[in-house]
Chains A and B, each alone.
Chain A
Amino acid sequence: MPEADAPSSAEALYRALVVGRARTPVFAGAVEGADGAGEGANPLCGDRVAVSLRRDAEGRVAEIRHESDGCAICVAAADLMAETVSGLDAVAIGALRSGFEAMLRDGAAATSAPQRDRLGLLNAFADLHEYKSRRKCATLPWSALSAALAPDGKE
C-alpha cells in the first residue's frame, strides 16, 4: 500500500468496488414477505451472512437482501452477489456460482472471456486467487443464497 508503488493485487482487490460496497452496501437488509431465507456462517472467523429473497412466478429472483456481519470481502461479496443474481433463476445462479468459484480457484487468467462477461461485477474478486485463505470470505454469501433457494432452507 505504499502510495508510490504500483497497485498490488490486494490493493487492486480492495479498491475495485470492495471497500465502497463493504462500507455502504446497496442490498443490505431483509426482504419483507420473503419466500426464501438462508444463512451461512464461517465458524473459523465468525463471519455470518443471512440472505432473504422473493421470487417471481417463473422462479427468478425478484428481490434479494442480505444481512452480513464480517470482513470487507465478505460484505462486498454478499452485496455484489445480490446485485448480480437479481432476475436469475436457480439454474442460472448455480452456473454463476460455479463460474465464480472457478475464477477464485484458478485465477482470472484461466477464466474465459465469455465467462468473465457472465461474472460481470464479480470479476472484482479475481485477485482473491492470490489469497487462498480469504476465498471463503467471498463464497460464504453464496452458501447462504443456496440455502435460501433450497426448499428446506438448508444448503
Chain B
Amino acid sequence: MNAVLPVGPDLSALRADFPILGETVRGKKLVFLDSAASAQKPVQVIDAMSDAMRRQYANVHRGLHWMSERTSDVYEGVRDKVAAFLGAGAREEIVFTANSTAAINLVAHSFGSLLKPDQAVLISEMEHHANIIPWQLLRDRTGIALRVARVTDRGELDLDSLRAELADGKVGLVSVTHMSNVLGTVTPAAEIARMAHEAGARVMFDGSQAAVHQPVDVQALDADFYVFTGHKLYGPTGIGVLWARRELLEAMPPFLGGGDMIGTVRFEGSTWAEVPHKFEAGTPAILETIGLGAAIDYVQRIGMETIQAHERALTAHALQRLRAIEGLRVVGEAPERGGVISFALAGAHAHDIATLLDQNGIAVRAGTHCAEPLMRRLGLTSTARASFALYTTSEEVDVLADTLDRVRRFLA
C-alpha cells in the first residue's frame, strides 16, 4: 500500500450513474474489472432505450406516420453523433452493424471481393479472433494470401516486420488493432496508415478497445476503415459501427441483401440504395442505436481526453501495485498502452486466480481472450486480465492487488 498514487481526474462521482456498481457479488461489493469484455451501462443509456420503448418507437425509414418519422430522426441523429465521435468527414461514411465482428466481416466480404487473387491481406500476431477468422474465410474463398506481421517480445507491433510484409506491394489491405485487448498496447495507427499507403494498401483499424479509452480521429489517422462496438463503450450489445471512406463504400458491393438496402427491385435485377444504406439490410437495431447515441453523448460530455487521463493514471497505479506482487508478471511492456492489463502469477493458473478473485466480488477475465495466436506467440496458455473503465477507482485497483497477494500465498 506504499505505492504513490498518480494523480488523474476524479471521476468517482460518475459511479452513481451506473446502477449495477452498487450490487454485491457472493456477499462482497462488486469490483468490476472486466470492462474490456463489455462495459456497464449508465442510467442515461438505460433510460434512452426504455424511454424509446415507452414513448416513441416504430420502424425507421419506411413509415409515413408520426412515430416512424420521429424514430427515424432519432436513429439517423445517432449517425451524426458517431460521425462527430470519430471525426468522420461525412455522416454517410457511418455504417451501423451488429458489432465490430460484423463490421470486419462486412469489409472482408465486400472490400475483400475487390481484391485480386495475387493480393494479400496483412494482419498482426496480436489480433482478436474477430480480425483473423474473416480473413481466413476470405482467403479460403478467393485465394488471396493472408500475411501476419510479428509482435515484439515487449508486446508491440513490430514495424520492421510490417514493412517487410508490405515490401512487394501485393498487400491490398492492412487490418490491425488500434489497441490490443490482451496487452493494452496502443499501436502507432497514423504511422501504420502511412506505411500501408506508401505500399499501395488500404488500412483498417479494429478500434473495439481504442475507441473506448482514447479520442479517435479517423481523418487525422488517415485511416480507410475503422470499426468499434457499442457495448464496450457503455452502450448496449447488438450495435457496432463501420466507418469507411465514402469512395470505398461506393465501390464495394453490398454484404447482406434485403429490405432497406435497395433502390428498385425487379426479378431480372435490382439497384442498391445510396451509402450507407446499401450496407444496412433489414430492420436495423433501432433501440440499440438509440442506446449507442446516449452512450456517445455520455462519454462526449465527460470528454474522451478526460477518460483517457483517468485511465492512464489508474493503469500506472495498477502496474506499480501489480509488479510489486511476488511472482507476478505483467504480460506486455509497451509504453503506449490503455487500461487493459494481462498478468500471470507463478504457480497459479489464470482460471484459479479468477475463481478466487470472484469469491471476493472481483470480476476479471481469464483465458486466451479470443487471441489464441498471440498467447502462443508469448508462450502462454492463458492469462488473467484486469481492465478499467471511466468508473474504475484506484481503491478498486488496491483491492485487486491486495487480494491477488493473498491468492498468491493461498495457492503457493
Among the 9-residue stretches B107-115, B183-191, B219-227, B347-355, the one with 4 or more Cβ atoms under 8 Å from chain A is B347-355
Query: B71 contacts the other chain (Cβ, under 8 Å)?
Result: no
Give min CB distance, A74 to chain B, whole Å.
Answer: 8
Write the B1-44 contact mask toward A (1 if CB under 8 angstroms, else 0): 00000000000000000000000001100000000000000000
Contact for A71 among B27, B351, B406, CB less than 8 A: B351
Residue among B349, B350, B359, B381 making CB contact with A1, cutoff 8 Å: B359
Q: Pick from B359, B368, B407: contact of A46, CB below 8 A.
A: B368
CB atoms of B411 and A46 under 8 A apart: no
Q: Is the CB of A134 within 8 A of B410?
A: no
Question: Counting CB contacts under 8 A, is B358 at the interface?
Answer: yes
| A contact residues, range | 20 to 34
Q: Known contacts A8-B26, A46-B381: does B407 contact A1 (CB below 8 Å)?
A: yes
Please give, as numbers and ranges, the residues of chain B lying within 8 Å of A46 by CB-CB distance: 368, 375, 381-382
The interface residues of chain B lying within 8 Å CB-to-CB of A45 are: 351, 367-368, 381-382
Q: Closest chain B residue to A19 by CB distance?
A: B411
B84 on the A face (CB < 8 A): no
Nearest-Cβ distance from residue B399 to partner chain A, whole angstroms: 11
Task: Tell me which of B348, B349, B367, B411 has the highest count of chain A C-beta atoms within 10 A of its own C-beta.
Answer: B349
In the assembled complex, which residues on chain B have CB atoms less than 8 Å from the CB atom of A73? 351-352, 355
Number of CB contacts from chain A to chain B under 8 A: 57
Cβ-based interface call for A10 (8 A): yes
Contact A10 B355 (CB under 8 A): yes
Q: How far is the CA of A8 from the CA of B367 in the complex (A)?
A: 24
Tell me the smallest distance from the CB of A1 to a CB of chain B, in Å.
5
A residues near B367, Cβ cutoff 8 Å = 44-45
Which residues of the partner chain A approach B382 to less than 8 Å between Cβ atoms? Answer: 45-46
In chain B, what residue has the closest Cβ to A9? B359
Query: Hey, what's the 0/1 contact readout for A6-37 against B, CB within 8 Å counting as 1?
Result: 00111100100001000100000000000000
Complex partner residue of B410 from A1, A44, A69, CB under 8 angstroms: A1
Pick from B351, B368, B406, B411: contact of A2, CB below 8 A.
Answer: B406
CA A1 to CA B362, docked complex, whole Å: 12
Does any Cβ of B come within 8 Å of A72's Cβ?
yes
Mark each residue of chain B from 331 to 366: 1 if its CB lies under 8 Å from any CB of chain A, else 0: 000000000000000011111100110111000000
Residue positions of B touching A, CB distance < 8 A? 26-27, 347-352, 355-356, 358-360, 367-368, 375, 381-382, 403, 406-407, 410-411
